Amino acid sequence: MIDDIWNRNRPYVIAEVSQNHDGSLGQAHAFIDAVATTGADAIKFQTHIASEESTIYEPFRVKFSYEDDSRYDYWKRMEFSADQWRGLSDHARSAGLDFLSSPFSEKALNMLDDIGVPAWKFGAGEVFNDYLLERAMSTGKPILISTGLSTLDEIGNIMSRIRNSGNRILLFQCVTAYPSTADMIDISQISLLRDKFNCPVGISDHSASIYPALAAVTLGARAIEVHVTLSPFMFGPDVKASVSIGQLSQIVEGSAFISTMLETKVNLSERSESREKLKEMFSKSLFASGDIHVGDKLSFENVKSKKPNIGIDSKLLPMMLGSIFKRDVKDGEPIKMEDFEK
């Protein structure tokens, strides 16, 4: 559950579908089934209601589409009804996933609140929608914020408002570029944001690769959000910034693996019993390189350093050179301390 972000020992992984369903309700449900196989914690959509958030004059990302004359037409084609959103939410929960969707209008937020989304995610552009943010805070639910377009001062102001309202908060380091390349991603912001604002921090990544997410985990990221696609050949503006289902599985597995490593502490001042056994197995001790007789002296010529370490440790050879044997040692036998005169 999403409340675990603040308590659990591995990052919370969100698979962001955005509009990669391309307006197909069947495809949206197919995404839920696919994401459920990866071990991700949540699936996230975006809830757009064209008449509430856009006009026919909106210029953003129009020419990418084969069938939409305007961005307004595109948003209209991405709409689902309240019952359809509820069906997606029920499907996600039955598949073991938290259902999240970013609202882009008050009407969308009210509808999602009725459905019972457990938290609010605000994208980098929507954090400046003060009224919508206030409405989200009034629900008391956790709020997840992408910082891709915000200055530190702006982030600080948002943090103060949300904290004053009593909501839990998580910040996402984010680059608002689709796709984003390595030279755009300042991964050190994970540590900077966590230390400056004393809150859990995650990464919202659009690189279409597994690397930023896994790097973020090593810096203490508590949540990972990545766009996901069923195929790189699907149609939509966000597909090129999305990981595959296979890559999502790698992110889930890799983040858990890294988290376990970060929690593992080994006391290097002493060896555990298991490490002692491995030392015996892999280090070397002294063995007779020919028959040795009583009265012979230990020399480089009559011993060899070999595995396993069941005799005198090889590192002691220089200080023991010249020691006198008090018993016969056959070729190939390990040499012990009790074989020498005192």
Q: Quick one: average pLDDT of 209-213?
A: 98
State the CB neighbour count (10 A cutoff) for residue 224: 28
Q: Which residues contact 229 (CB under 8 A, 6 or more apart)?
A: 20, 236, 238, 239, 242, 243, 244
| Domain match, 148 and 290 both | no
Mean pLDDT of the chain: 94
Quote the number of domains for the chain.
2
The confidence band for 71, taking pLDDT boundaries of 50, 70 and 90, is confident
Residue 63 lies in a domain: yes
Residue 268 lies in a domain: no
- Which residues is 108 bridged to in the sheet? none
The confidence band for 171, taking pLDDT boundaries of 50, 70 and 90, is very high
The confidence band for 147, taking pLDDT boundaries of 50, 70 and 90, is very high
Read off the CATH number of the domain in which 229 is found. Answer: 3.20.20.70
Q: Phi first, then psi: what are they for 74, rounded to 5°? A: -65, -50
Q: Quick one: average pLDDT of 26-32?
A: 98
Q: Which residues contact 297 (CB under 8 A, 6 or more apart)?
A: 321, 322, 323, 324, 325
Q: Quick one: average pLDDT of 63-68?
A: 78
Measured between alpha carbons, how far is 142 from 223 in angstroms, rounded to an integer? 13
| Domain match, 57 and 195 both | yes
Closest CA to 59 of 49, 69, 51, 50: 69
Measured between alpha carbons, how far is 174 from 255 in angstroms, rounded to an integer? 18
* Digit-coded pLDDT (tens) for 190-207: 999 999 999 999 999 999
> At residue 58, does pLDDT exceed 80?
no
* Digit-coded pLDDT (tens) for 287-330: 999 999 999 999 999 999 999 999 999 999 999 999 999 999 99
> At residue 29, does pLDDT exceed 80?
yes
> At residue 1, does pLDDT exceed 80?
no
pLDDT in the model for residue 87 = 98
- Which residues is 324 bridged to in the sheet? 297
The confidence band for 238, taking pLDDT boundaries of 50, 70 and 90, is very high
| Domain match, 181 and 301 both | no
Domain boundary among 263, 281, 313: 263
Q: Quick one: average pLDDT of 235-261?
A: 96
Percentage helix, strand, coil for the chain under 3-state DSSP, each rounded to 5 = 40, 20, 40
Q: Quick one: average pLDDT of 96-106?
A: 97
pLDDT in the model for residue 61 = 62
Residue 42 lies in a domain: yes
Q: Is residue 83 exposed (0-12), middle (13-18) or buried (19+ Cβ within 10 Å)?
A: exposed
pLDDT in the model for residue 62 = 63
Greater pLDDT, 266 or 134: 134
> At residue 122, does pLDDT exceed 80?
yes
| Domain match, 171 and 135 both | yes
Question: What are the Cα distances from residue 117, in Å, to 137, 158, 173, 220?
Answer: 13, 21, 23, 26
By percentage, how much of the chain surpasses pLDDT 90? Answer: 84
pLDDT in the model for residue 93 = 97
Range of the domain at 40: 2-263
Residue 247 lies in a domain: yes
* Digit-coded pLDDT (tens) for 221-230: 999 999 999 9
Residues comprising the chain, all counted: 342
CB 296 within 8 A of CB 324: yes
